[in-house]
Amino acid sequence: MTAHNTNWDNEHFFHPWEGMETLGQNDRAYIEGGEGIYVRNDRGERLMDGPAGMWCVQVGYGREEIADAMADQARQLAYFSPFNNTSSISTRFAHEIARRAPGDLNNVFFTTGGSTAVDTAIRFVHFRNNLMGRPEKKIIISRQKAYHGSTYLAASVSGKERDRLWLDKADHLSHFLPNVNPLHRSDGQSIDAFLDEKIADLENAILTLGADKVAAFIAEPILASGGVIVPPKGYHKRCLEVCHRHDVLYISDEVVTAFGRLGHWFASEDVFGIQPDIITCAKGMTSGYVPMGAAIVSDRLIADLTGMGATFSNGYTYSGHPVSAAAGLKSMEIIERDGLLEHVQALSPLFQERLSSLQDIDIVVDTRGMGFMGCVECSADGSKDALLDQDYAIGALIDEECQKRGLLVRPLINMCVTSPPLIMSADQINQMFDILETGIKTAADRRGA
């Protein structure tokens, strides 16, 4: 039941992914505050935040130091145009990011979030090919279940089927490869054979579309909101080899995986052993305290374009916003000072072990994850392919049961995702999975009833 005595949420707040049938009919609690790994709502409940907001509150809520850094920066210089000028704090943040990014990814183009980072990356790739005299080389190869954002271009390369139903996309610029989830490999197919098939999918797509038409491949190291899909070992390395063999660029969308979620600043190099041509990031970059994103471009790509007299006419009023840079720098400092990368590395085995033990529950057909990312997939009849009618509500039912017990999870149709703040302790991880286990079992009983 609602505790707040206003109905402004229903009257005025048009939420992302709002169902037109439920618009104005919701009974959501209002979140009033947050501290550490917990948020507090206006019903007087304190909830452990399993999704860290939206995969982003790396250092946890209520960090005075970040609030102070933002306030100090706002007092000193709240804003300045990034177009022909620069604020010293944003140059410092660009330097600190480039220092941690793989290889020659030294050019940090600041954006307002993940979607605009992906948009910028694609526009840059197109810009480069125009300048290099190959204006036909424009197609971006992506994958089913990928999510890259909600601007027109980023949505055009996003491959979640249900999100593609009702909106227009730039279809001539995209091509989608089949699902890379090993759960969906054919009966008897080994992981190695599945991997070979996925690599062949990419190479065949480039050959069929024509290497002269394909500009780039875009991939999340782990498909996040598609259901934490971890491709087979060696996948990214082999994809990069295929791409470079055909002069196709590799864009690694690290909006979720960068800034510690997998125990490293960037997962591309440290976890998957690749140096992409462009990395996009956002979310954990400022621990979600204020919006910001970036497309980080390699020196090599920039070098191709010098001496042509061209301008990359792309950018935002708030590119490199000083207050966001202040939050980002402070968040980075906390991650480093408190050893949060090492902390995630040390506790990932416990996190992943607790996650995979959920497989013992009847309705769970798969668990998968890495670092502080996990997903539980459920199905009423144990089928791993087609969703049944009753499967659609199971994620929301689990979330409801978990919330009753003090835990927020992120429901995604028949799946539940968890990606907590990086500060979560071993005890709290155990507590989170204890609640999730009970939540799933109770939801299964309710569904069966």
Q: Which residues of 125-157 are buried (b: 16+ CB within 10 A; e: fewer)?
A: bbbbbeeeeeeebbbbbbbbbbbbbbbebbbbb
Segment interacting with ligand PMP, rule: CB under 6 A, options 114-122, 269-277, 349-357, 370-378: 114-122
Task: Please choose, out of 91-99, 142-150, 200-208, 325-333, the segment that lies near ligand PMP by the rule CB under 6 A.
Answer: 142-150
- Sole window of 45-53, 145-153, 210-218, 331-339 interacting with ligand PMP (rule: CB under 6 A): 145-153
Determine the interface stretch with ligand PMP among 74-82, 230-238, 249-257, 359-367 (rule: CB under 6 A).
249-257
How far is CA 252 from each of CA 175, 260, 385, rounded to the nearest angstrom?
16, 16, 28
Query: Least Å distance between CB 174 and ligand PMP?
Result: 15
Q: Which two tokens stand for residue 339?
A: 């050893």
The set of residues, in sequence order, having a beta carbon less than 8 Å from that of 440 and lying 6+ positions away, is: 358, 361, 363, 364, 376, 378, 398, 401, 416
Q: Which is nearer to ligand PMP, 114 or 411 (CB)?
A: 114
Per CB under 6 A, 289 contacts ligand PMP = no
- Interface residue with ligand PMP, options 59, 121, 205, 256 (CB under 6 A): 256
223 forms beta bridges with 229
CB of 220 to ligand PMP, least distance (A): 5
CA–CA separation, 394 and 385 (whole Å): 15
Under the criterion CB under 6 A, does residue 119 sit at the interface with ligand PMP?
Answer: no
Site for ligand PMP contains 140 (CB under 6 A) = no
Name 399's Cβ contacts closer than 8 Å, sequence gap at least 6: 408, 409, 410, 411, 416, 439
Q: Give the CB-nearest residue to ligand PMP.
A: 114
Residue 225 found at the interface with ligand PMP (CB under 6 A) = yes
| 36, 50, 53, 113: which one binds ligand PMP (CB under 6 A) | 113
Binding flag, residue 118, ligand PMP (CB under 6 A)? yes
Distance separating the N- and C-terminal Cα atoms of the chain? 24
| 109-117, 324-332, 340-348, 410-418 -> range binding ligand PMP (CB under 6 A) | 109-117
Contact flags string 292-311 toward ligand PMP, x per CB under 6 A? -x------------------
Q: Answer for the pair 90, 315: CB distance below 8 angstroms, yes or no.
A: no
CB count within 10 Å of CB 229 equals 22
DSSP, res 300: H
Choose which of 253, 377, 399, 437 interacts with ligand PMP (CB under 6 A).
253
Cα 39 to Cα 10, 45, 407, distances in angstroms: 21, 8, 10
Q: How many residues bind ligand PMP (CB under 6 A)?
A: 15
User: One symbol per residue from 177 to 216: x for binding ligand PMP (CB under 6 A), - otherwise; what is it?
Assistant: ----------------------------------------
From 126-134, 194-202, 231-239, 248-256, span contacting ligand PMP (CB under 6 A): 248-256
Count the helices and strands in the chain (H runs, E runs): 14, 15
> Taking CB under 6 A as the rule, does residue 114 contact ligand PMP?
yes
Identify each DSSP E strand in 20-152 by its residue range: 31-35, 38-41, 46-49, 105-111, 139-143
Is there binding between residue 288 and ligand PMP (CB under 6 A)?
no
* 255 contributes a contact to ligand PMP by CB under 6 A: yes
Mark the segment that binds ligand PMP (CB under 6 A) among 84-92, 252-260, 410-418, 427-435: 252-260
Q: What is the nearest approach in angstroms of ligand PMP to the Cβ of residue 170?
A: 17
Give me 363's structure tokens: 């309705």
| Cβ-Cβ contacts under 8 Å for 110 (sequence gap 6 or more) | 82, 90, 94, 292, 293, 294, 316, 319, 320, 321, 325
Question: By C-beta, is 117 or 424 nearer to ligand PMP?
Answer: 117
* Cα 199 from chain centre: 23
Q: Is 412 in the site for ligand PMP (CB under 6 A)?
A: no
Task: Supply 216's token pair.
Answer: 């780039």
CA distance 449 to 439: 15
Stretch of residues binding ligand PMP (CB under 6 A), selected from 146-154, 259-267, 383-391, 410-418: 146-154
Q: Is 220 in the site for ligand PMP (CB under 6 A)?
A: yes
Is 149 a residue that touches ligand PMP (CB under 6 A)?
yes
Alpha-carbon gap, residue 156 to 119, rounded angstroms: 10
How many whole angstroms separate alpha carbon 56 and alpha carbon 34? 14
Which residues are near ligand PMP by CB under 6 A? 113-115, 118, 147-149, 220, 224-225, 253, 255-256, 282, 293
